[in-house]
Amino acid sequence: MKKRFSVAVVLWQTILFSLVFGTAGVLRAQSTTEYTNLVVFVRFLDDAEINHSFASIDTMFNGRTPGFLSVYNFYDVMSYGRIHYNTIYTNNIQNGQIVSYQDSYPRAYFEPYSSWNPIGYTEPNPFMGVSMREAQLLGRIVRYVDSMGLVDSGIVLDGNDDGMVDNLSVIVKGGTGEWATILWPHMEYFPYDSLNDEPKIHGLRINTFNFEFEGASPSLFSQLQERGT
């Protein structure tokens, strides 16, 4: 699963390829596949709370009005109704007010080192996989969600019944950073090999995750290009 390629044509072809061939198997099986996407909002130590319309984000993910461009409708149409991609949120979101996980490091810690950013990271970003700082951030996020009980026990996280949380969407406060850095939209498998433990939610390992940025006005295309089936 490659990440951090931003050439629109290549990404769009990749999405269509995975959907067409993935959908073919689903249709042959004549069954409906459910996927669950868990969204966690994240901000850094030096960030104020996210001030973004929760309703607009949820509609982009879960909008089901026929003809409306949402992630749910895209998968539904492309699979002829055989794939249901359901997005859920942590239970600390009340009355449409976003409540985010605040990390213990400032934003600059996740940006490349430079003369004006002495706390930035110096190792190159891997072509596949994630850097150690990103892996550790993801571990803290998952431990926080599980330890605080932010996903109700009755919520289905393993929609396709493969024994793992289908996908974790991390929506980060602010805009994107430089291309091909940690703070650039991307999708990968959860980096268990880089961690000393196995953070889980309700005893389930995370399958894939993707990074998006609320300040970049997430669009349907950006959500789909960083998402796989």
List strand residue ranges (DSSP E) for the chain, in order.
33-43, 83-89, 101-102, 164-172, 186-189, 205-213
Q: Is residue 76 part of a domain?
A: no
Q: Is residue 58 part of a domain?
A: no
Q: What pTM did the predictor assign?
A: 0.83
Model confidence pLDDT, tens digit, residues 23-46? 444 444 557 888 999 999 999 999
The answer to the question of residue 79 being in a domain is: no
Q: Is residue 157 part of a domain?
A: yes
- Looking at residue 43, what is its pLDDT? 97
Query: Quick check: is 160 in a domain?
Result: yes
Whether 83 is covered by a domain: the verdict is no
Under the banding of pLDDT at 50, 70 and 90, the label for residue 16 is: very low
> What pLDDT does 5 receive?
37
Which domain range does residue 127 map to?
35-53+88-222
Do β-strands 186-189 and 164-172 pair in parallel, antiparallel, or remain unpaired?
Answer: unpaired
How many structural domains comprise the chain? 1
Residue 75 lies in a domain: no
Two tokens at 125? 């970003």
Is residue 127 a part of any domain in this protein? yes
- Rounded Cα distance between 124 and 69, Å, is 36
Within a 10 A sphere around the Cβ of 165, how many other Cβ atoms?
Answer: 24
- The answer, yes or no, to whether residue 167 has pLDDT greater than 50, is yes
